[in-house]
Every structure is written in C-alpha cells, then in structure tokens.
Structure 1
Amino acid sequence: MKDFSRPDLMSRSACRGSELISEVMSSTPVTPQPQQEHNGAGVTAQPEPFDPFRFPSGLVSAARDAAEARQELRRYAETLPWSREPHPGWEAPEQTGGMSSYRTSRPATDGWSEDQKIRYDNLWAQCREKSAVVYAHEHWGQCGAKAYEARQALKRLPEAQPVVNVEAGQPAQEDAALAS
C-alpha cells in the first residue's frame, strides 16, 4: 500500500494543490465571532442563527471565478491535439459484442507546442488556485453536517455559474445542445 503522507510519493500538482489550500486556510480566520446587535435602548439583540445556505458574497464570487477558470481551461483543451507529446496514433480492430460494435482510433499527432503547454499549465494552475480559495473558505467550517449539501447548492447557484463568453469562437458541444 502506498504511503500518501510522504511528499516524495505524491505528484507535483497534488503537492502544490495541498500547499495552496494550506496557504489559503492559514491566511483566513477559522471561525468568525458572531456580531452582537444593539438597538437604540441599549438592549442586545440575539444574532440570527447560522444558515449554511446563505453564502457570503465573497464565496459566491470566488465560486464563479473558479467555474470560469475551469470553463476556460476546458475550452482551450478542446482546441489542442489529443496527446500532449508526439504520438504515432493507432487504429484498433473493430470491437464486437453486445448491442453495438465500434472501432477506436487516434490520428498521429506532433503533440503540443511549447506555447500550448505553457498556456495549458498556466490555466490549470489558475483553476487550482481559484478552487483552493473556495475549498478553504471559512464558511464551510461553520456548516457542520450540512457542508456537503451547502457545497452542492453553491455549485448550482445561478450567481456562481460562469459568465458565457460571447467572443468564444466555435461553440462547444454543450453550447450547441442548449441552442437547439
């Protein structure tokens, strides 16, 4: 069994991802203090109970930024050759059985250029950094047993969805399906 606690056995990107999360978590307070409200008569009002589905605006904008970064990476990856490195490609024999038959193949490719590799790696790094901000947000520490449901709700929140880029050349397959 692999010992994943040893950094030398973890991939470079996984190590960097955990460093980003640790960095973000150490720079944000773990639990904010509830604010006491005073009315004009000097009486202290009770603070509202915490609602895990009332997301702070900073968390919503961070989730939108992370979704936009993932969308940009996905759109860019769709324009790249299928293999990062040069590959001769293949033509597999027809697979039969079941209800259908199919043939797998990939054309030969020269791989990605150095500029393409750099741009992809930069976009991937942005995705990790922006996702770490969402993952390490102080809001999740207060959610308790509702954290999973709250995270799923944030993903589906319209304000957290990526803004559609009008200048995005060719539409993606999902965009074409939505248009019809």
Structure 2
Amino acid sequence: MTTPAPKTAAAAPFDPHDFPGDLVAAQHTEAELYADLHAFQKTLPWSRESHDGWPDEAERGRERRGRSASPGWTSEQAAEFDRLFVALRRAAAAVGATSGGSAASGRASRARTWSPPAWRSSMLRAPFPRHGRTSAPPPNHRLGPGYCPPGPSPHKG
C-alpha cells in the first residue's frame, strides 16, 4: 500500500523565493536603520567623551597610528545615536521573531540539546585508538623521534 500524495502539492508548487511579507518588511526596516546608523556614525567624532588623543608611535617596525584630540559628542548627537541603536536592536529582534522565534528561545533550545562532537565522544570511548591499542602504553614506551626519558641517556657511547 502506498501513501497518497498531499492534495496541496498540486495546487501550489514549492517556491524557495516566496518569503512572508512581514519578514521581508522587517528585514527592509532593519537594513534602513543599519544604513542610517552607520551614515550618522561617519559624521561623529571618534570618541564619545572628549579625549586628548595620542601621537603616532613606531617601534621596531610596528607602527601605531595616533589620534587627534576629540571634542566628544554633543548631547544631541549622543541622543540620536542611542535612538538609532535602540531602534536597530528592536528591528533585529523583530526579524528574529518573524523568522521563527526569538534569539533567546533559540539559544535556550540549543543549550538543552547540546552534545559533544562525534570525534570527542569517540575519543572518550577509546582513549588509545592508534594501532588498535585498547589500554595505555607501557611506562617505558617511546613516544616518538627525539623523545628521551629522564635520567642518563641510553645513546651515549
């Protein structure tokens, strides 16, 4: 006996580019806020608070560029930056919630289902997999080229 095909498959074939409209709108909003924030950041001084800066330094071939003095941001600039940043974070959270849940719930579910990688669990089961050994090598086992046990060298002539 075979399973009949679902009736909706014939009505609407799968379209990988058919995204929900609310997800696309949330992504556009996030992209616009991201562009606005970075365009605004380019107009700001490099330091939020006033800073004296530091000179160029060259030490043994390593160069560190200096910074000129920064007057700091005005209260209006800081308020506008904070407003854009909060709006961007909220838009990113909206995209995460629209695309299948919040980021926090995704992290929580991954944390509950975490298991060690396959190579790690296999190493825990068989600690000495090389050459078919199932137990630890003997204490006087030579560990490789250049290994010399403590004490007098057996190679001196």
Question: Normalising TM by the smaller chain, what interval?
Answer: 0.5 to 0.7
2:8 to 41, 46, 51: 46
Q: Is 2:50–2:70's contact at 8 Å kept on the other side of the alignment?
A: yes
1:121 to 76, 82, 97: 82
Q: CA deviation at 1:53?
A: 4.9
Rg larger for = 2
Gaps of 5+ in 1: 1-43, 142-180
The residue number in structure 1 matching 2:52 is 88
* Counterpart amino acid of residue 56 in structure 2: A
Q: CA deviation at 1:45?
A: 3.6
Task: Using the aligned pairs only, state the percent identity.
Answer: 38
1:73 to 20, 37, 47: 37
Q: CA deviation at 1:52?
A: 6.3
TM-score (norm 2): 0.52
1:59 to 10, 15, 23: 23
The residue number in structure 2 matching 1:111 is 72
Distance 2:17 2:60 in 1: 49
Number of residue pairs matched? 94
Distance 1:52 1:127 in 2: 27
Would you identify which runs of 4 or more consecutive aligned residues in structure 1 move more than 4 Å?
A: 47-53
Q: CA deviation at 1:140?
A: 3.0
> Which structure shows the higher helix fraction?
1
Q: CA deviation at 1:54?
A: 2.6
Q: CA deviation at 1:92?
A: 3.4
Where 1:105 maps in the other structure, the secondary structure is coil
Q: CA RMSD for the aligned pairs?
A: 2.4
TM-score (norm 1): 0.46
1:140 to 92, 97, 100: 100
